[in-house]
Amino acid sequence: MDVHLNPKIGPDWTLPGQRREVVTPGNNQKRFVAGALDARTARVTWVQGEKKTSALFIDLVRAVDAAYPRAKRLHFILDNAATHSSKKTQKALEALGERLVLHFLPPYCPEGNRIERLWWDVHANVTRNHRCKKMEALMTEVDAYLDARNTQKSASPLLRVASARRAA
């Protein structure tokens, strides 16, 4: 997920007859979040970085590996980003051997990847129309949102849709 210091503009509310001022800090900065969503619990594991590179994806895989030490297999549902299949990624993932299984979605199919719904939720609740002046403050809000989401008793309604269909 791309996080921009210049806020995404989107729906918001104000008192009738007033306009909401959206603060733009000027020079845009970017950070990136890579995440993995547990299909059973809807718990998210994520890492953040200054660049969207193979190293960020490898950091995510290592974080998931550490979070699930007893899992016999770790299945990753992936889009076709170059970072997921680069030579650097392939070499780093060989260390996990058969424990890691990669499943690639068809190209241009974000609706098929449940984590995309989570990123839309983060944008709707954190990055859209935000008022942060520093990137560190915005990333702290992103982390706080994801932490709070992990401690909820139930998953976001958007994330429950696929589980309900599977159970039916």
Is residue 144 classed as helix, strand or coil in its secondary structure? helix
Whether the predicted pLDDT of 155 surpasses 60:
no
DSSP E strands in 26-165: the ranges are 30-37, 44-49, 74-78, 100-104
Token pair 């549902």: residue? 77
Total domains, the chain:
1
Q: What is the arithmetic mean of pLDDT over 70-99?
A: 92
Which residue would you say has higher pLDDT here, 161 or 83? 83
Q: How far is residue 55 from each of residues 47, 81, 89, measured CA to CA in Å?
A: 11, 13, 8
Which residue would you say has higher pLDDT here, 24 or 57? 57
Do 12 and 124 meet the contact criterion of CB atoms below 8 Å apart?
A: no
Q: Which residues pair with 32 in a beta bridge?
A: 2, 49
Q: Which burial class, exposed, middle or buried, applies to 118 when counting CB atoms under 10 A from its CB (0-12, 13-18, 19+)? A: buried
Provide the residue count of the chain. 168
Q: What is the arithmetic mean of pLDDT over 11-33?
A: 84
Is residue 76 classed as helix, strand or coil in its secondary structure? strand
CA distance 150 to 148: 5
Q: Which pLDDT band, with edges at 50, 70 and 90, does 30 fall under? A: very high
Question: pLDDT tens digit string along 97-153?
Answer: 889 999 999 888 877 788 999 999 999 999 998 889 999 999 999 999 999 999 885
Q: Structural domain of residue 118, as residue ranges? A: 2-167
Render 149-168 in DSSP notation, one character per residue: HHHSSS--HHHHHHHHHHH-
> Residue 37 corresponds to which tokens in the numbers above?
């969503």
Which domain CATH number covers 90? 3.30.420.10
Range of lowest pLDDT (34-38, 95-99, 158-162): 158-162
